[in-house]
A and B are shown apart, each in its own frame.
Chain A
Amino acid sequence: MTLTITAQTISTKSIEQLNELSGENVKLCMQCATCTGMCPMTAEMDLSPRKVMHLAQFGMLDRLSDSNTWWKCASCHACTVRCPRGIDIAKVMEALRQRVLRTNKNYIEPSALPAERIAELPQIAMVAAFRKLTS
Chain B
Amino acid sequence: MKISYYPGCTLKSKAANLEAAAVAALAALGIDVEEIDRWNCCGAVFSLTADDLVHQVGPVRNLIRAKEKGAAQLLTLCSMCYNTLARANRIMRDDAVKRDTINRFMDDEIDYAGEVEVVHMLTFLEREVGWQKIREKVRVPLEGLRVAPYYGCTLQRPAEVGIEPFGSFNLMTGLLTALGATVTPFDAADKCCGSYQVLNGEAGARSTAAVIVDRAAAAGAEALATSCPLCEYNLGKQQGRLLEAGQITTAVPTFYFTQLLAVALGVAPESCLFELNDPASLDLLKTKNCLVAA
Contact = CB atoms under 8 A, between A and B. Distances in A.
Contacts of B152: 76
Contact of A113 (B10, B13, B199): B199
Interface residues of B, number: 49
Contacts, number: 145
A51 interface: no
Contact of B80 (A21, A78, A124): A124
Contacts of A23: 49-50
Contacts of B204: 41, 43-44, 72
Contacts of B10: 122-124
Contacts of A74: 153, 192, 194-197, 205, 208
Contact of B158 (A81, A120, A121): A81
Given A121-B233, A128-B80, A76 B195 contact: yes
Contact of B14 (A40, A122, A129): A122
B9 A123 contact: yes
Interface of A: 20-23, 40-41, 43-44, 71-72, 74-78, 80-81, 88, 90-91, 93-95, 98, 107-108, 113, 120-129, 131-133
24 contacts: A20-B50, A23-B50, A40-B191, A40-B208, A40-B211, A41-B197, A44-B197, A74-B194, A76-B152, A76-B192, A80-B157, A81-B157, A81-B166, A88-B158, A121-B14, A121-B198, A122-B10, A122-B14, A122-B232, A123-B14, A124-B8, A124-B78, A128-B80, A133-B196
